[in-house]
């Protein structure tokens, strides 16, 4: 009997993860025979679970909160984008038996903006709100699009300045506090990577931040528009998007890494949107 290639998402909590559904849809669409499950994994059992998964023949898994940094520490071999992100969301068994750690979050965001929404980043002034793991994870792919600049603004100013310094060799990046933002405005693209959305809150954003024809994008998503998506609409954004497209795109990139086939994402995004 041939068993199906096995994949999973590890996280805690994981019950509401859309990843098994997304990968199932990708597999059906591309005719790939595989199994993808959601596994409740706490930080203190991550290493044991990862080792067991591969020892039992698993081909690869995704990691979500709170495991991306642990997965980064656990994988000896990493792509440059994962190395700089200090977070791994995709682990893939290689032919030589080693495991490669990658991070598909930033490229998922960039593909959603560029391909799905026609929003180019080259030459643009980008404001990135937040200086935590979510911001770090997307900085390299954003800089690779050659924006005019990225300004990172954070509640704790020092963290924004330190994060900017880490990526300064890759492009024009600077860090500041929210109170200093007006002197850098306006921005053509504002990305919210704070965890404020998750509790329905907004960073303290001064008026006049968004350029005419500007775009807002919240990395978080929900069944209702997030506080930041609403802020974008109220402040004249021509598009104010949430992170559902990014979620599907980062999954598609992981699927491509594992299976060598790129699934069509638009039908999957449309289906998930219709179910909100
Ligand atoms: P994640 O991995 O989701 O980025 P994190 O590393 O804990 O999580 O970072 C959370 C980010 O959201 C930080 O930039 C945090 O600001 P501080 O560094 O000052 O803590 C930001 N954040 C969380 N709640 C916020 C709020 N209510 N207003 C503004 N920023 C907030």
- CATH code of the domain in which 64 resides: 3.40.50.10860
> How many distinct structural domains can be found in the chain?
2
Same-domain pairing of 148 and 200 = yes
Q: What is the pLDDT along the chain (276 residues), one digit of tens a residue?
A: 568 999 999 999 999 999 999 999 999 999 999 999 999 999 999 999 999 999 999 999 999 989 999 999 999 999 999 999 999 999 999 999 999 999 999 999 999 999 999 999 999 999 999 999 999 999 999 999 999 999 999 999 999 999 999 999 999 999 999 999 999 999 999 999 999 988 999 999 999 999 999 999 999 999 999 999 999 999 999 999 999 999 999 999 999 999 999 999 999 999 999 999
Q: At which residue do the structure tokens 């219709």 appear?
A: 274
Same-domain pairing of 73 and 110 = no
Any atom of ligand 1 within 6 Å of the Cβ of 157: no
Q: Is 29 contained in some domain?
A: yes
Q: How remote is the CA of residue 125 from the centroid of ligand 1, in Å?
A: 22
Same-domain pairing of 113 and 96 = no
Which structural domain, as residue segments, surrounds residue 165? Answer: 106-245
Q: Which of 103, 120, 152 is the last residue of a domain?
A: 103
Same-domain pairing of 119 and 239 = yes
Q: How remote is the CA of residue 66 from the centroid of ligand 1, in Å?
A: 14
Any atom of ligand 1 within 6 Å of the Cβ of 34: no
Instruction: Please state the pTM of the whole predicted model.
Output: 0.96
Same-domain pairing of 232 and 168 = yes
Same-domain pairing of 235 and 119 = yes
Same-domain pairing of 176 and 143 = yes
Assess contact for 93 and 54: CB atoms under 8 A: yes
Q: How remote is the CA of residue 127 from the centroid of ligand 1, in Å?
A: 15
Same-domain pairing of 176 and 150 = yes
Same-domain pairing of 183 and 130 = yes
pLDDT of the residue at 177: 98
pLDDT of the residue at 2: 64
Residues assigned a catalytic role: 68
pLDDT of the residue at 249: 98
Q: How remote is the CA of residue 185 from the centroid of ligand 1, in Å?
A: 21
Same-domain pairing of 177 and 162 = yes
Q: Which of 66, 84, 103 is the last residue of a domain?
A: 103
The token duo for 204 is 């303290």
Any atom of ligand 1 within 6 Å of the Cβ of 159: yes
CA distance 245 to 104: 13
CATH number at residue 148: 3.40.50.720
* 222 HSE (CA, 13 A, CB side): 14
Any atom of ligand 1 within 6 Å of the Cβ of 154: yes
- The minimum-distance atom of ligand 1 relative to the CA of 136 is 4
Taking every pair of C-alpha atoms in the chain, what is the biggest distance, in angstroms? 66
Any atom of ligand 1 within 6 Å of the Cβ of 243: no
The token duo for 207 is 């008026």
The token duo for 240 is 């104010």
């Amino acid at each position: 009997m041939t068993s199906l290639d096995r994949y999973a998402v590890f996280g805690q909590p994981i019950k509401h993860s859309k990843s098994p559904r997304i990968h199932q849809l990708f597999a059906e669409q591309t005719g790939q025979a595989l199994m993808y499950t959601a596994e409740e994994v706490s930080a203190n059992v991550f290493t044991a679970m990862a080792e067991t998964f591969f020892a039992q023949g698993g081909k690869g898994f995704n990691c979500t909160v709170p495991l991306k940094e642990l997965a980064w520490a656990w994988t000896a071999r990493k792509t440059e984008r994962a190395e700089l992100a200090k977070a791994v969301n995709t682990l893939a068994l290689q032919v030589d038996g080693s495991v490669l750690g990658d991070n598909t979050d930033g490229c998922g965001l960039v593909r959603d903006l560029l391909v799905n929404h026609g929003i180019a980043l080259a030459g643009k002034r980008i404001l990135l709100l937040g200086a935590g793991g979510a911001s770090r994870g997307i900085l390299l792919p954003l800089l690779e699009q050659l924006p005019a600049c990225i300004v990172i603004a954070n509640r704790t100013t020092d963290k924004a300045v330190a994060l900017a310094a880490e990526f300064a060799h890759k492009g024009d990046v600077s860090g500041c506090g929210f109170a200093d933002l007006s002197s850098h405005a306006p921005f053509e693209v504002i990305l919210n990577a704070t965890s404020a959305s998750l509790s329905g809150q907004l960073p303290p954003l001064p008026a006049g931040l968004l350029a005419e024809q500007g775009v807002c994008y919240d990395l978080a998503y929900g069944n209702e528009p997030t506080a930041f998506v609403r802020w974008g609409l109220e402040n004249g954004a021509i598009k104010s998007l949430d992170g559902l497209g990014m979620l599907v795109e980062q999954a598609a990139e992981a699927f491509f890494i594992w299976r060598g086939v790129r699934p069509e994402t638009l039908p999957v995004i449309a289906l998930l949107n219709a179910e909100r």
